[in-house]
Structure 1
């Protein structure tokens, strides 16, 4: 219940802030162009709060916090008195109308830059792109534990998240990745990771794992937290024991233990588990017991548990002074925009899965998660969401800002506005496209919840 309330709260805060900036962009430019604004609303539906300023604009906070709008005086919607016709939006020049419509997405873009600047000034704590363990494809490519990834396909990376995104992009494009690393001897080396060999239909969210890469911060020590009474480990292992080997196989992290216990159980008979206890290495004999995993599948178990919710210490920080942070924030905005547009292009061409389309449930969960991680992560989330709103609103879909801009560009070319009939048809098409997109987003959200 706590996570649910937190998710709802932080989603409302996030969307409220970003929508306010977006609509303020429309409002501010509209007023500069002499357009009379009737209402500035954050949210839809019944107003919960409302005030009117001297210019006659109503400022409202409405009950449904999933958007907002700026309602302007327009002869196509209401009868306008002769004295106010010069203030009607439809009577402004096409360039003024373009400026008013483009101001909303531009406000979100500027907000993204500001939020990233603030994040870099505060300092963003993160995990370095240091490899903790390699298997399969990555191991065959020559990547080793302790290597720190510097660049992927010529793109500089600092954090594990940036490296994962670059690898995922190469995998979706069915291309091998050139990975430049700094090894434990401080030597720079380039390895070729054959991501083009990943099977068709691979899970795009697990590209590093599928390639055999395990980041260092993923690796939780195999430190026994508790022992189940009556289990195979009862009376043998103790809380606080650090497992370092199972049946002669070295253990570097907790995630390796289940597979080795399974192999030991399938072999049959007792095996030896090496642990560090109070600084002393002990070899203890244990026989796994048959049981079932959380999914109900038959497996072999010791009856031990490792600490849950373990969060390793951050080992990287992105921090800059107020002036140095400006170009860094601009570059990061450009990088995120390129990634977002690239993902949209890949979804359209079929190189990326439709599962990448997320809705309000995912937004709420991520908002809550980043808020828990700290101000730096929440600012990064807000910046990314603000940029996403900018890009989505610029799509040439009727109803969205981009659709209106398309109308005005056509008007510039043909020398006259589109007919009411053509614009009405476009509105219906836009509604259908948005309904389909929202339906897909909600479907992915619900599917994600069901798979948890």
Structure 2
């Protein structure tokens, strides 16, 4: 419940801000083009609050449904227009001017993303070093000779600063299906080159890293109980938040991953945990639950959130901070990288190479908004930049009812010298509404599946 108390306000702030930015792009360019604007609304539906500009006569609204917004312009297709106002109607403008007005929304979202990333680089991008854990023997990483503790410092001579850089870089190269050249720093400090063949890896990000066998390195650290689930094996055994788990049946546990794997391999079994609590060592017997895993096999479940002492991860933390001038090209490059990757992933979804499960809806976005807001300003601003890029790319899709569909119509009109017939435009709008409804349904379906685990 407390998570949603953070997620809902963060979601409303994020969506409200990004929609306001998007619609302001349309609003600003329309007014500069001499088009009469009637209303600027954040949200759809009935007005919750608003006012009317004294000199402009423009209505400024906050509306009931905070999932979008719109700029209403004078248009003869939507109602009668006085003869004196016809030169200021949107439909009377040259196609090039209408294209500029429509393109301004996504364009301002891209500019917002650049500004947000610029601020993030100024504040400092926190992350974890791109060090990898032990890879399974049959994985591509193990076959290429990568070892636990190796730090990947470059992909094809492109510098890697943190784990997010590594993830995005490999997803991008995985879509290409080419071999990549990694520069790897060992724990002794020497640097070597490792070739990684990505020609046979799945393009889907959900499967890519499993096939590669790459996961973040976990420094040796005694796992501890970060939280206990009510009415679980852990709570019934008397385990408490803060207990440090030293061993399971006498086998030492030096990482959270080792503990998780040991628990999962013992469904329904009675094990003895050796824990340290308030300076005392206790032996606590626990009968593990048995649940069905993702692969259908039974696995053990303790019913506790496993963590480590934060001090153990200090050596893994890294921060990239740039000055005002250096942050500008970095922000532009980051926006371009995220935009290009978003377009490529969408294209692979259409061809079926990337799972539609990657589509997220309002519930998942709200969840991410709450998580990043709870982390801090840098994380939340970075989240805003990412969603702003996604909003821009989505709106540029050539689907009627979206900005991209209008851009397609006006471009065709400009080329052929006359607009498409009203019947064709209406049919396109209907197809666009169906496509958008299907996309929204898919997004909500994915969100619900994630909630259900």
TM over 0.5: yes
Q: How has the CA–CA distance of structure 1 residues 349 and 229 changed in structure 2, closer, same or farther, with 3 Å as cutoff?
A: closer
Confirm or deny: 8 A CA contact 1:357 1:441 kept in the other structure: yes
Equivalent of residue 369 in structure 1, options 371, 375, 386:
371
Aligned to 2:38: 38
Equivalent of residue 433 in structure 1, options 424, 432, 435:
435
Equivalent of residue 144 in structure 1, options 122, 142, 147:
147
- Is the deviation greater in 129-138 or in 210-219? 210-219
Q: How has the CA–CA distance of structure 1 residues 45 and 119 changed in structure 2, closer, same or farther, with 3 Å as cutoff?
A: same
Aligned to 1:112: 113
Aligned to 2:161: 158
Q: Whole-Å Cα distance in 2 between the matches of residues 100 and 385 of structure 1?
A: 22
Q: How has the CA–CA distance of structure 1 residues 335 and 204 changed in structure 2, closer, same or farther, with 3 Å as cutoff?
A: closer
C-alpha displacement of 1:87: 0.8
Q: Specify the SS of the correspondent of 1:215.
A: coil
Aligned to 1:125: 126
C-alpha displacement of 1:55: 1.1
Q: Deviations over 1:192-249 (max 9, x none)?
A: 3455556x7x974354344332312587633578996996x99xxx944644x9777x
Aligned to 1:18: 18
Confirm or deny: 8 A CA contact 2:18 2:388 kept in the other structure: yes
Q: How has the CA–CA distance of structure 1 residues 445 and 258 changed in structure 2, closer, same or farther, with 3 Å as cutoff?
A: closer
Q: Specify the SS of the correspondent of 2:223.
A: coil
Q: How has the CA–CA distance of structure 1 residues 299 and 351 changed in structure 2, closer, same or farther, with 3 Å as cutoff?
A: closer
Aligned to 2:384: 382
Q: How has the CA–CA distance of structure 1 residues 288 and 73 changed in structure 2, closer, same or farther, with 3 Å as cutoff?
A: same
Q: Deviations over 1:109-140 (max 9, x none)?
A: 11010011011111121111012333322233
Aligned to 1:6: 6
Confirm or deny: 8 A CA contact 1:25 1:103 kept in the other structure: yes
Q: Whole-Å Cα distance in 2 between the matches of residues 47 and 270 of structure 1?
A: 60
Q: How has the CA–CA distance of structure 1 residues 174 and 17 changed in structure 2, closer, same or farther, with 3 Å as cutoff?
A: same
Q: Whole-Å Cα distance in 2 between the matches of residues 300 and 428 of structure 1?
A: 50
Q: Specify the SS of the correspondent of 1:184.
A: coil
Aligned to 2:191: 188
Q: How has the CA–CA distance of structure 1 residues 293 and 161 changed in structure 2, closer, same or farther, with 3 Å as cutoff?
A: farther
Aligned to 1:442: 444
Q: Whole-Å Cα distance in 2 between the matches of residues 295 and 185 of structure 1?
A: 41
Confirm or deny: 8 A CA contact 2:265 2:299 kept in the other structure: no
Confirm or deny: 8 A CA contact 1:242 1:276 kept in the other structure: yes
Confirm or deny: 8 A CA contact 2:266 2:299 kept in the other structure: no
Greater radius of gyration (CA) = 1
TM-score (norm 2): 0.85
C-alpha displacement of 1:429: 1.2
Q: How has the CA–CA distance of structure 1 residues 372 and 92 changed in structure 2, closer, same or farther, with 3 Å as cutoff?
A: same
Q: Deviations over 1:30-81 (max 9, x none)?
A: 1111111010000011101111111111000001000000000001111001
Q: Whole-Å Cα distance in 2 between the matches of residues 27 and 230 of structure 1?
A: 60
Q: Deviations over 1:384-422 (max 9, x none)?
A: 101111111111111111111111110111011222222
Q: Whole-Å Cα distance in 2 between the matches of residues 416 and 164 of structure 1?
A: 47
TM-score (norm 1): 0.85
- Is the deviation greater in 182-191 or in 305-314? 305-314
Aligned length in residues: 437
Aligned to 1:336: 338
Please, which runs of 5 or more residues in structure 1 have no aligned partner? none
Confirm or deny: 8 A CA contact 2:267 2:300 kept in the other structure: yes
Q: Whole-Å Cα distance in 2 between the matches of residues 287 and 60 of structure 1?
A: 61
Confirm or deny: 8 A CA contact 2:234 2:286 kept in the other structure: no
Q: Specify the SS of the correspondent of 2:324.
A: coil
Equivalent of residue 253 in structure 1, options 252, 255, 280:
255
Aligned to 1:48: 48
Confirm or deny: 8 A CA contact 1:109 1:386 kept in the other structure: yes
Q: Whole-Å Cα distance in 2 between the matches of residues 364 and 269 of structure 1?
A: 39
Q: Whole-Å Cα distance in 2 between the matches of residues 269 and 400 of structure 1?
A: 58
Q: Whole-Å Cα distance in 2 between the matches of residues 167 and 339 of structure 1?
A: 11
Confirm or deny: 8 A CA contact 2:26 2:105 kept in the other structure: yes
Q: Whole-Å Cα distance in 1 between the matches of residues 373 and 327 of structure 2?
A: 22
Q: Specify the SS of the correspondent of 2:11.
A: helix
Q: Specify the SS of the correspondent of 1:133.
A: coil
Equivalent of residue 292 in structure 1, options 277, 289, 292:
289
